[in-house]
Amino acid sequence: MLKQISAIITVLILTLGFASTSEAATPRSMWVENEIYQYNHQFASQLPQELATKMQKMAASPFAFYRGTAHIFYGDMPTLPASGFVNSPTSAIWLAGDMHMQNLGGMRDSNDNNVFDTTDFDEGYLGPYVWDLRRMAVSILLAAKENGFSSSDGQDIVKNFLDAYLNKMKDFKGTNDELSYRLQESNTNGVVKDLIQKAAGKSRSSLLNKYTLLNSSGDRLFQTTSELQPVSNSTYSNIATAISSYIASIPSSKRYSNSYYALKDIRLKLGSGIGSLGKYRYYLLIEGPSPATNDDRILEMKQQSTSAVAIASPGLLPSSVYHHHQGTRVTIATKAMLADTDPLVGYATVSDIPFMVHEKSPYEVDFDYTLLTTKSKFMDAMAYAGKVVAKNHAISDKDYDAAIVPVSVDKEVTDITSGNQSGFKDEIVNFALDYATQVEYDYGSFKDAYNRGVTLY
């Protein structure tokens, strides 16, 4: 497997043609319309109303559009300039893939630590480490502009994010500190500290009250709302049948008794996120640790498809690694990049569709970038984001599985950037400036097509 990965890396390095930076930002209306249609049409037959919601959400702003079009970003990567700070060892590491500000949040890990971390690994895949940094940097510039900051301020914030990433990688080099590193209330401040405290203040009863109710017999069931819809008898039966394979996907050391996973109710969840709209997402109510109704658990079962990163680096993560199952890929990526992972993370297949399953945590709070109302707040928050991305990359290297990533990523990244950190930051910032402009062009093309009623899925 290592030989296969090495060979693919060599081919990528030798064969990719890289255009000049100036080609990055150009109007390309028909191309954008076609890309959006081709990507989303594959889901049109299953949940067209969700795709309509997706288009409506994407039309809100360039940043919202960017969140919904990771496939365009990675389609562009092979055509844009290569980084001068990537070598063979750093060109095939675990990436979160869709690394943007809204995929960060407050949460509680399996050891009951309230932390700030990455919340979504649906696009998890192998690629050059700079792709996560590029995608985050562009999101910072788009969000900063939306929040009213100047381009100069946006660039400063990106550089602060990159400084934090590089410094934390340097801290990790030669140690195992990354394995126990976490951002908590005690080592954060500002908006991020507030977010962690908000997660800590949440409760299981609040989540259950939001989505469920007790019927006249005292049984807990899901509510039916515009966001939570009943499923057909056949869908219910197919999901119930898949529970046994989901349980089997959980390592025996983390597996509870079968009674824990006893299925009580199912709903189709509508309207969540942006990029994943159009794919099936179900909420499953299960028994939990006791027959009592106050400790029931809600599982989120999300349909998975090929990672957008694979558009840019096809085959870099051999499908045999994840048993040719996209839900397994996301499960592995989640475990690779998070410490103290949710013990309910697993995968299943329902009607030949791959799903990743995890707990709908009562303690997760989304990051709200509109709270970043001053430059200092934005700088602080993105410094923590840089530390999170460094942790993701450092713990998912040979520390996690040397058969997938055989190097120490923190060492390799530190070594390749240490001689010219200012050049590294300038390269990422310049890329982000060009690509943020491209996103704005593409957003304008999309918005025009959307307003004209062009078929986009």
457, 44 Cβ separation under 8 angstroms? yes
- Provide mean pLDDT across the span 307-329: 98
Query: Tokens 């515009």 identify what position?
Result: 226
DSSP assignments along 123-189, one per residue: T-EEE-THHHHHHHHHHHHHHHHHTT--HHHHHHHHHHHHHHHHHHHHHHTTSSGGGT----GGG--
| Packing angle of the helix pair 130-146, 375-395 (nearest 10 deg) | 160
Least confident of 19-23, 278-282, 326-330: 19-23
Three-class secondary structure of residue 301 per DSSP: strand
What pLDDT does residue 24 have? 58
Q: Sort strands 297-303 and 125-127 into parallel, antiparallel or unpaired.
A: unpaired
pLDDT in tens, 239-263: 999 999 999 999 999 999 999 999 9
User: Six-digit token pair at 5?
Assistant: 């990965």
Q: Is the pLDDT of residue 76 over 70?
A: yes
- φ, ψ at 25 (rounded to 5°): -105, 95
- Provide mean pLDDT across the span 418-445: 98
260, 266 Cβ separation under 8 angstroms? no
Residue 127 pairs in a beta bridge with 93
pLDDT top residue among 3 and 299? 299
Distance CA 111, CA 340 (A): 6
Distance CA 6, CA 361 (A): 38
Q: Is the pLDDT of residue 3 over 70?
A: no
Over pLDDT 70: what percentage of the chain?
95
Three-class secondary structure of residue 93 per DSSP: strand
Query: Tokens 């707990």 identify what position?
Result: 359
Distance CA 393, CA 165 (A): 10
pLDDT in tens, 303-316: 999 999 999 999 99
Distance CA 429, CA 141 (A): 9
C-alpha pair distances (Å), 107 with each of 100, 125, 231, 254: 17, 23, 29, 20
Distance CA 44, CA 40 (A): 7
pLDDT in tens, 145-169: 999 999 999 999 999 999 999 999 9
Rg (CA), the chain: 22
pLDDT in tens, 167-223: 999 999 999 999 999 999 999 999 999 999 999 999 999 999 999 999 999 999 999
316, 9 Cβ separation under 8 angstroms? yes
Query: Tokens 């949460």 identify what position?
Result: 107
Q: What is the pTM of this model?
A: 0.94
Query: Tokens 């028909």 identify what position?
Result: 30
What pLDDT does residue 136 have? 98
- Provide mean pLDDT across the span 122-136: 98
Model confidence at 354, pLDDT cuts 50, 70, 90, reads: very high
Please provide the size of the chain in residues.
457
pLDDT top residue among 13 and 432? 432
- φ, ψ at 373 (rounded to 5°): -90, -10
C-alpha pair distances (Å), 402 with each of 172, 324, 326, 364, 396: 17, 20, 21, 31, 9
pLDDT in tens, 77-110: 999 999 999 999 999 999 999 999 999 999 999 9
Three-class secondary structure of residue 268 per DSSP: strand
User: Six-digit token pair at 48?
Assistant: 């067209």
User: Six-digit token pair at 274?
Assistant: 């942006």
Q: Is the pLDDT of residue 127 over 50?
A: yes
